Amino acid sequence: MAELILVRHGQANSSARDAESYDRLSDLGQQQATWLGDWLRQTNPHFDRVYSGALNRQKSTVEAMGYEDILEVDDRWNELDYFGLSKAMEAEHGLSFPEKPDDFAEHAPQLFRAWFEGRISEQQETFFAFETRVREALLDAAEPGGRALIVTSAGVISALTRQVLGLDTDGMFKIALHTANSSIHRIEVIGGVPYLNGFNGMAHLAHPTRAHARTYV
């Protein structure tokens, strides 16, 4: 059996309109990750392995949590290319990129459906290829057994949750939109079968003085 603790990275540059500008933690994102690392060390600090994707915001979250010494970088944990897909979606179907955070609730389901249905021709990665790589990364991380920490992104977490629970793409985007920065998600793999054992844990942000740090964008 393996227990996998998936963590969404801390808040990134939420005002960005391209992937490069987005890929850095905000000051609040650094603080969220530090609080999470402190909480883990106070509760159940041991991990047999620690992984993250190759993105700056993911690796910076591991560093702020204090687990960089045993970090293994695996780019299969990288986020889907939301900015690239959005640019192609706008060019091919006229759907403009969101101007405000609240606009993602309307934008994301249209984008995900078009991606799932293969209606976006200019893309670096198909929906099927994305889900395949994250599923393989999950099973490889689980194969040695024990307990692993994995710092990744909302799209990856929502794709894995969709597969584990058998959700449709509408379910996937609802999960992606409500996956909090620095939140914890638990998956147990037993006999090669993954089971969801916890979603969107934010115990490290539970105190009322940290209410402002419960962010989603």
Cβ atoms within 10 A of the Cβ of 41, count?
13
- pLDDT tens column, 177-210: 999 999 999 999 999 999 999 999 999 999 999 9
What pLDDT does residue 14 have?
80
Structural element, H or E, at residue 146 = strand 146-152
Amino acid 123: pLDDT: 79
Q: Quote the CA–CA distance of 178 and 200 in Å, as a whole number.
A: 8
Model-level pTM greater than 0.85? yes
Tokens read off for 198: 């916890």
More confident residue, 55 or 174: 55
Instruction: Tell me the C-alpha distance between 69 and 15, whole Å.
Output: 31
Sequence spans of domains, the chain: 10-213
Superfamily (CATH H level) for 10-213? Phosphoglycerate mutase-like (3.40.50.1240)
pLDDT surpassing 80 at residue 41: yes
pLDDT in tens, 100-144: 878 888 898 899 999 999 999 887 899 999 999 999 999 999 999
pLDDT at position 201, please?
98
What is the spatial distance between Cα 63 and Cα 41, in angstroms, rounded to a whole number? Answer: 14
Question: What pLDDT does residue 17 have?
Answer: 79
When pLDDT is cut at 50, 70 and 90, the band that residue 77 belongs to is: very high
Q: Is the pLDDT of residue 16 over 80?
A: no
